[in-house]
Amino acid sequence: MAPTSLAGILITAMAFLSCLRPESWDPCVQVVPNITYQCMDQALNRIPDNIPTSAKILDLSFNPLKHLSRRSFSNFSELQVLDLSRCEIKIIEDDAYQGLHNLCVLILTGNPIQSLALGAFSGLSSLQKLVAVEINLEYLEDFPIGHLKTLKELNVAHNSIKSLKLPDYFASLHNLEHLDLSNNQIQNIHHKDLKVLHQVPLLKLSVDLSLNPIEIIEPGAFREIKLHELTMRSNFNSKDVMKTCIQGLAGLKTDRLVLGEYKNERNVEKFDKFVLEGLCNLTIEEFHVAHFDYFSENTIDSFNCLANVSAISLVSLNLDDPSYFLNNFRGQQLKLVNCRSNVFPQLRHLPLKKFVYTENKGVSTFQNIELPNLEFLDLSNNGLSFKQCCSHIHLGTNKLMHLDMSFNDVINIGKNFLGLEKLEYLDFQHSTLKGINQFSVFLPLKNLYYLDISYTHTHVDFYGIFSGLISLQVLKMAGNSFQDNNLPNIFTELANLTFLDLSKCQLQQISLKAFNSTPRLQLLNMSHNNFMLLDTLPYKLLYSLQVLDYSFNHIVASKGQELQHLPNIVSLNLTRNEFACSCEHQSFLQWVKDQQQLFVEVENMLCTTPLYMQGMPLLSFRNTTCGMSKTAIGVSVFMVLMVSVVVFLIYKFYFHLMLLAGCKKYHRGGSTYDAFVIYSSQDEDWVRNELVKNLEEGVPRFQLCLHYRDFIPGVAIAANIIQEGFHKSRKVIVVVSRHFIQSRWCIFEYEIAQTWQFLSSRAGIIFIILQKIEKSLLRQQVELYRLLNRNTYLEWEDNALGRHIFWRRLKKALLDGKPWNPEETEDSENNHQEATTSN
């Protein structure tokens, strides 16, 4: 097959496989089995088959569905939420959603709808929220939703709607609470547009008209109309248009009016006192203003019209000094959020009950206020410092119940809340508290039930710190520290405490009596501390304790009392500790296993020691070996080790031991050499490099007789062989190779040796077969062949293991020659033992 055609087939096959993908593999994410499915952006053109009919929440957004025909979803009658955002839907046929009796939320955002059948939404008998943002809608009259009597929220923002004319069907949308018409093309609002609201008042309705380019509001258009909320942000391109339009709102009654702009949509460049004068003819409960750039002293008068308003929120404004226009305010609630000003508002003698001043910029120091009716004060997130805190002198009230000073700078506690005895809620978190250890600062706060001093850089070394807080139920003090990292007995008066957060406090120990007076405690958070042992003894009186969080500590095990002191516990979080999964702690480990249902993520409680259990679940600990006594295990392990060491040493130094055993007599024999080596000169390399090296330089040391160096020069060769070779050597090593058999000289040497062997009756020939030799060649030397068959011989093998065995056997054979007197052989065994023991 040509390579090109092969490549062609491969490419076709791969293309085929990749086409298969959307159908054969599951495109959706099952978020909650049988309930929630997420199929976003999967190039689907219909609902995938594998979505079960029990599905309640289905996200099909960003799929090219294009066309919704009749009963497209009828198989999914349980659906409650259906998201069809940006599905390129152009056509929705009659009864497209038929069968979705339970659908509450339908999202159609971003579909370029061209054809919407009159019965498109029929069958949606429970629909509460319809999001039809950016669907090319021009006329509300054309939107076939009149029968959706359950509808609470209709969002048709970001369309091309030109008129606020509310169609007659609004009269039947009794439940409508929120109508979002923002970001459309509405320019003029006429009296007749809101006729339906005159006929059938929708008292709960909030209308958002923001981001419409409104030019004219016909005076009286809103007369006698009551709305819950009207929002008009970034509607006007100049202050004059704004002024006339606000006048046009005359007669409107609303709980909340929201005016202003958006951060990135600024049109009204200047603001003066006349802009808001129309507000005098409105009835407003709460007034909200956001994002007006220029808003200062000359607007004071406009706030005169807000005298009867009960709540004002000023969000993201530039205010030189807010007190200028606020000092006439007679309402009860004031919010200043994210505003920039130069001074802390000098609020005096206002009837305010609630003052929220958060996330403001430009002011660094708190100034005393005087608000005798104030009950709720939120000063959080301003980065303020407080030179003195806190008493009725600083806050100018005796009625304060809620005080939030969190996320500020340094707060000096100089006064112990004198005159603020009504306080119930106090939050200092993430501010730096100074002076809290000097005296019992909370002493008069008999009504306080909530106290948060988390992350206030508090180092507790004063035991009276919480004295007087007899009603306290919630105490949060994470991220602080204690003297000696020991939790002292500081909760003595907190008899009603139910929630205590002591996480991240570097704690290592708990004083035994710390919780003796808090019998109602239900939740105790000890996570992220430095505890090494789980000690439940201090909790023995906490009969109400249900949740105990000891995660992120260094707990190895418990102190052994375990559950007996936590009788009513429901949830125990011991994840992320450093458990020792060893027999020493088996009762703790067994307890965890027995009480699994109590533990949070018990399968994620992991062992840290011993090393071989590291990272394994604590539950995988097996106690089978724990029965044996420790000493038994220790001794047997030691024995096994010792035996192995001895065996190893004997194996390694076998010849050294042999040598020691027989060393005294070793040289007594008459022989000068241990062996005379007969070999072919062709094998001289092997003899020099292997044989001589291993035998003459190894242990024990052997002396070989080699003709190339040991024969006496000048003496006849035969004489040399006999005198030097045979007579002075105990053994004869014959290196048999192909060369040896072919060399006559070797044959000669060998024959002499044989004769000599018989004569001296010493069993001393060692054959070494250097290379495999064919039998036919060997048979030419009948005698040698016979001898080889009769005697054992050594075969040379050129690999690590083979060599090792070869040399051991050869050395053994050489030693075996009984060089000393034959009758001493019997003693060699004893000598051997002596040598070992004396060593």
Ligand X SMILES: *[C@@H]1O[C@H](CO)[C@@H](O)[C@H](O)[C@H]1NC(C)=O
Which positions touch ligand X (CB under 6 A)? 33-34, 52, 54, 72, 75, 219, 250, 280-281, 305, 307-308, 470-471, 478, 496, 501, 503-504, 525, 527-528, 547, 549, 551-552, 571, 573, 586, 590, 600, 623, 626-627
What are 408's two structure tokens? 């500020």
What are 503's two structure tokens? 């996480």
Phi, psi (degrees; rounded to nearest 5) at 363? -115, 135
Helix (H, G, I), strand (E, B) or coil at 33: coil
Which residues share a beta bridge with 115?
91
Radius of gyration of the chain from its Cα atoms, rounded to whole angstroms: 50
Q: Residues 153, 177: contact at Cβ < 8 Å? A: yes
155/180 Cα distance (integer angstroms): 5
CB 248 → ligand X: shortest distance, Å?
Answer: 8
Closer residue to ligand X (CB): 36 or 682: 36
Longest dimension (CA), the chain: 148
Q: Side chain identity at 730, as an amino acid letter?
A: R
H helix runs in 445-597, sequence order: 586-594
356/376 Cα distance (integer angstroms): 8
CB 661 → ligand X: shortest distance, Å?
Answer: 50
Q: Residues 391, 419: contact at Cβ < 8 Å? A: yes
Closer residue to ligand X (CB): 172 or 546: 546
702/705 Cα distance (integer angstroms): 10
Closer residue to ligand X (CB): 255 or 501: 501
CB 71 → ligand X: shortest distance, Å?
Answer: 6
DSSP per residue, 604-640: G-BEEESGGGTTSBGGG---GGGGS-HHHHHHHHHHH
Closer residue to ligand X (CB): 36 or 471: 471
Give the residue closest to ligand X by C-beta. Answer: 573
687/678 Cα distance (integer angstroms): 10
Q: Residues 577, 605: contact at Cβ < 8 Å? A: yes
DSSP per residue, 378-408: E-TTS--BEEEE-SHHHH--S---EEE--S-
74/89 Cα distance (integer angstroms): 18
CB 346 → ligand X: shortest distance, Å?
Answer: 24
Closer residue to ligand X (CB): 334 or 505: 505
126/99 Cα distance (integer angstroms): 11
Q: Side chain identity at 3, as an amino acid letter?
A: P
9/567 Cα distance (integer angstroms): 72
CB 233 → ligand X: shortest distance, Å?
Answer: 23
Look at residues 500, 552, 554, 502 and name the one whose alpha carbon lies nearest to residue 528: 552
Closer residue to ligand X (CB): 35 or 788: 35
CB 49 → ligand X: shortest distance, Å?
Answer: 8
793/790 Cα distance (integer angstroms): 9
CB 627 → ligand X: shortest distance, Å?
Answer: 5
CB 209 → ligand X: shortest distance, Å?
Answer: 19
CB 288 → ligand X: shortest distance, Å?
Answer: 18
CB 277 → ligand X: shortest distance, Å?
Answer: 8
CB 219 → ligand X: shortest distance, Å?
Answer: 5
Q: Residues 626, 583: contact at Cβ < 8 Å? A: yes
Closer residue to ligand X (CB): 68 or 687: 68
CB 839 → ligand X: shortest distance, Å?
Answer: 44
Report the chain's terminal Cα–Cα distance, integer Å: 78
Indicate the angle between helix axes 654-666 and 828-838, nearest 10 degrees. 120
Closer residue to ligand X (CB): 178 or 191: 191
CB 319 → ligand X: shortest distance, Å?
Answer: 22
CB 34 → ligand X: shortest distance, Å?
Answer: 4
CB 578 → ligand X: shortest distance, Å?
Answer: 15
As to burial, measured by CB atoms within 10 angstroms (0-12 exposed, 13-18 middle, 19+ buried), residue 578 is middle
DSSP per residue, 561-600: -GGGG-TT--EEE--S--EE-SGGGHHHHHHHHHTGGGBT
Closer residue to ligand X (CB): 441 or 572: 572
Closer residue to ligand X (CB): 70 or 779: 70
What are 248's two structure tokens? 């046009």
Look at residues 754, 753, 765 and name the one whose alpha carbon lies nearest to residue 726: 753
Closer residue to ligand X (CB): 487 or 810: 487
Closer residue to ligand X (CB): 227 or 306: 306
Closer residue to ligand X (CB): 493 or 690: 493
Helix (H, G, I), strand (E, B) or coil at 641: helix
Closer residue to ligand X (CB): 221 or 317: 221
Look at residues 611, 599, 539 and name the one whose alpha carbon lies nearest to residue 575: 599
Q: Side chain identity at 160, as an amino acid letter?
A: S
Closer residue to ligand X (CB): 334 or 605: 605
Q: Compute the half-sphere exposure of residue 39: CA atoms within 13 Å on the CB side of its CA.
A: 28
CB 470 → ligand X: shortest distance, Å?
Answer: 4
Closer residue to ligand X (CB): 504 or 585: 504
CB 309 → ligand X: shortest distance, Å?
Answer: 9
Look at residues 604, 542, 601, 541 and name the one whose alpha carbon lies nearest to residue 572: 601
Q: Are strands 459-460 and 481-482 parallel, antiparallel or unpaired?
A: parallel
Closer residue to ligand X (CB): 270 or 330: 330
